Structure 1
Amino acid sequence: MRWMLAIFVAWVMQAQAALPPSLQEALAKAQLPADSVAIVLQPLDGNPPRISHNAGKAMNPASVMKLVTTYAALEALTPAYRWTTDLYRNGSLNQGVLDGDLIIKGGGDPALNVAEFWRLLQQLQQQGVRQIKGNLQLDLSMYTPEVSQRPVLDDEPWRAYNANPSALLLNGRHTSFRFAISHATAKPSVQITPEFELAQIHLINNMRVRKGACHDWRSDLQYSVTPQAEGVTVVFSGSLPEQCDVRYLELSVLSDSQYVFFTFKKLWAQLGGQFNGQLLLAPTPDGATLLTSWLSPPLDSVVRDINKWSNNVMARQLMLTIGWEAGVRPVDEAAAALALKQVLHQRGLQFPELALENGAGLSRLERISAEHLAQLLVTAYHRPVMPVLMASLPILGMDGTLKKRLADGASQGMAYLKTGSLDGVSSLAGYVQDQAGKRYVLVMMVNHPQSAAIRQVQDALLKQVIESQ
């Protein structure tokens, strides 16, 4: 389209950094008022911004706020930081029998998964524990109780992105339900398989196969979740298009403590251990004996998972860790937000409008300006943590949340950007390199009911910045 090329030409020729008329026209075609959009295109060579529109306006950034949290964490904690999960015994241990409780003390690890938990329990058996006569006690005291009771953002409380943090977060507390069309019989059927499978998640499959393409496979899929005394029942109904290959839906249908308890019982039995106790929630007593510990992957790996795939609960755990390491005991999100802002202040980043609720962008309250987000990215670019932060971002047309954006042509691989979206919010921020090797910081945020329409404008601007000579 002619207006796409005009976007680039206009801002190159513009004497000031105002919004070029051609870009105004593109926004009008997308039915987005200019005052609902903030844009900064800042060269990294020290020159003034090429575009600066509504730069000082405080806006909801959605998941682009993860850039603030992950940068602050890299500065405050270092890329080599690791979380610790400890196992204690509260009782005597003789000939493989623990005459007392096993205690798992959560350390806020955002990346603890089932495979690592299995290895931790294997380490426990290597310490001589084979039978546990007492209970499984979980120490979740690192966070205040309110952290795990925050209201969800929308009307889908069971979706994995709405999961609240926990000092002992296992597998993100989510179950991935796998949907596939089976042709094992004359009439095709929908097979649903939970991964990781737990016996306490009771699945009822009322789905059928319908004709058609798989473009909008969720449109006729419904589910209900009914908690029970010993687990939960999940009912799926509706239909799945016959042209779908494997599809997944991630739900968080168990509490953090239930998920750990049920997983422990399953894995402990698979390892040949004996346990018939109950679940207890209490802090670790002073006289408990440390048996073994598990160290998480380093922070640089965790930051990559957070930004590449926009993982909300991991980002929330990360902000809480900043507060914990600043000395807040127990920590909550308000105290963690203050600690994060202090980290920014120490790097000369004073953002009066910055509003942090959970650090993940999964919020209607969080705010930052495009100008200050660009300033943060410029500062980060000149800091030792830059390679880690940049490597954590989705690569245009290649991976993460940008895998399908401008995947063909010269723009592929030329930008490292974090995306963000909520109902009424669409954002994009990160680093762009043109074909001459010049690098820019780009920030674009839209707060408008039709915010999804900005994608075509974003792609056009990216393409012209990268490919035009």
Structure 2
Amino acid sequence: MMHWIGLCVWLCATLAHAALPGYVQDALTKAQLPADSVAIVVQPLDGSAPLIQHHAGKAMNPASVMKLVTTYAALEALTPAYRWKTEVYRNGSVNQGVLEGDLILKGYGDPALNVTEFWRLLQQVQQQGIRQIKGNLVLDNTVYMSEVSQRPVLDDEPLRAYNASPSALLVNGRNTSFRFSLRQENASPRVMIAQEFELPQISIVNLVQPRKGVCTDWRADLRYDVHPQPDGAVTVTFSGSLPDQCDERYLELSVMSDTQYAFFTFKKIWQQLGGQFLGGLVIAATPPNTSLVTSWWSPPLDIVVRDINKWSNNVMARQLMLTVGLEAGLVPVEEASAALAVKETLRRRGLQFPELVLENGSGLSRNERISAEHLAQLLVTAYQRPVMPVFMASLPILGLDGTTKKRLAAPGSQGMAYLKTGSLEGVSGIAGYVQDSLGRRYALVMLVNHPRASAIRPVQDLLLKRLIEGP
């Protein structure tokens, strides 16, 4: 009898301790968000009972918070020292700097092959004695199944860079960054548009006019249309208006296919390096009896995960999940099998989440699901693992960098939490680690699925401040 009385007392105390605090309930009411649309877990990392457990077991869409699952599993499966390779082959002889055949680039899903890295790769090729190519450029993407190029399109903006689909040979994320600025001409402002990495095959038609106003919602009246040309080039027409109080603003678009973008980038850099190339583009597997020219190795995974989590890079996260599948022996790989490889990695760490739905691993999905309880369990497990320093350092630091740079930047809160954020229309989430004023640390997860999910931010900030301030 005394045993059951003690158990009931403990259980009641735990439930009371874990209930939704009144200040959170009041903030939800003020934000016009029903409590059943929100899942919250605050779990002390010292192993004591949760401070808050609210709808903890409910399967929720986490948006980009799902990147925590992908990056943690990848760090465990691949190790923080993992590097991607890109191979360069030739299928002809080289005589006095002239390649009598094709140059072949074979990709293995490097998510960090930006313009600078690509320039260094091609410089390395020329240092191997190839200056002129008489054949074609062959791009080999065959380690990915063709299905991975089918992108989930959100927000009805298929050309936005965050909607870019993976590619085994992804150069610069297939991303063209358009820079908008205003210049005074004859005492009147004029809108200027330029490419950050300029490709001559991308032409800009600028019909944007300046308008009076502040720059809070500068995209409200800005429109773009992309017109492909028969030769693979594109014309991008911008119209609408830009507030005259804006300084520089950027719009990231993917206006070309992955192969066309890689081809035109190759042509530009190869010429800049002093090489000659008059061939065309061929998309095919690497032929037999070719000779390896050189191999390029990416930065290590411990650097790549920072780009993924701090800036919530969708296509890099998708490539990372596919890499987990590749290294599990799934060649060619596609997202469904890669998701199973991620789940198996989690299972080996004692993390079995029956409700987990992984579509592409980035959170760019209407189908992905996980519970707040299991996200918190993942955070606690990661904190106890050797990969913890890399994993935690990859998260945006509250009030200092990444997607949380402008949140709670006052001295009392700044730097006191490492948090991954996520948002889609009708979805908002935060998850990560919080330290209070007494040095105690917590795993925090808050997920919201509701048409008014964007109204949750003041509630998130209030909970963060109360946790940081401590008792």
Q: Secondary structure at the match of 2:226?
A: strand
Asked if the contact 1:14/1:20 (under 8 Å) is kept, the reply is no
Structure 1 segment 1-400 matched on structure 2, within 5 A? 15-230=16-231, 231-400=233-402
Measure, in 2, the Cα distance between the counterparts of 1:23 and 1:382: 29
Measure, in 1, the Cα distance between the counterparts of 2:354 and 2:145: 27
Answer with 406-415 or 417-426: which moved more: 406-415
Asked if the contact 2:62/2:369 (under 8 Å) is kept, the reply is yes
Q: Secondary structure at the match of 1:248?
A: strand
Give the C-alpha shift of residue 16 in structure 1. Answer: 3.3
Measure, in 2, the Cα distance between the counterparts of 1:196 and 1:442: 39
Deviation digits for residues 239-258 of structure 1 (CA, Å, limit 9, x no counterpart): 11111010000000010000
Q: Secondary structure at the match of 1:39?
A: strand
Which stretches in structure 2 are left out of the alignment for 5+ residues?
Answer: 1-12
Asked if the contact 1:66/1:361 (under 8 Å) is kept, the reply is yes
Percent of aligned positions with the same letter in both sequences?
A: 74
AA in 2 matched with 1:319: M
Measure, in 2, the Cα distance between the counterparts of 1:13 and 1:38: 18
Measure, in 2, the Cα distance between the counterparts of 1:15 and 1:448: 26
Measure, in 1, the Cα distance between the counterparts of 2:420 and 2:430: 6
RMSD value over aligned CA atoms?
1.1
AA in 2 matched with 1:317: Q
Measure, in 2, the Cα distance between the counterparts of 1:23 and 1:263: 51
Give the C-alpha shift of residue 270 in structure 1. Answer: 1.0
Measure, in 1, the Cα distance between the counterparts of 2:358 and 2:306: 21
Which stretches in structure 1 are left out of the alignment for 5+ residues?
Answer: 1-11
Deviation digits for residues 274-301 of structure 1 (CA, Å, limit 9, x no counterpart): 1110100000112110001110000000
Asked if the contact 2:309/2:396 (under 8 Å) is kept, the reply is yes
Structure 1 partner of 2:4: none
Structure 2 partner of 1:416: 418
Measure, in 2, the Cα distance between the counterparts of 1:187 and 1:118: 40
Give the C-alpha shift of residue 151 in structure 1. Answer: 3.8
AA in 2 matched with 1:166: S
AA in 2 matched with 1:458: Q
Give the C-alpha shift of residue 150 in structure 1. Answer: 2.9
Asked if the contact 2:83/2:301 (under 8 Å) is kept, the reply is yes
Give the C-alpha shift of residue 22 in structure 1. Answer: 3.0
Q: Secondary structure at the match of 1:137?
A: strand
AA in 1 matched with 2:446: M
Measure, in 1, the Cα distance between the counterparts of 2:312 and 2:433: 17
Q: Secondary structure at the match of 1:74?
A: helix
Q: Could you state the TM-score of these two structures normalised by the residue count of structure 2?
A: 0.96
Give the C-alpha shift of residue 14 in structure 1. Answer: 7.5
Measure, in 1, the Cα distance between the counterparts of 2:199 and 2:57: 50
Asked if the contact 2:102/2:133 (under 8 Å) is kept, the reply is yes
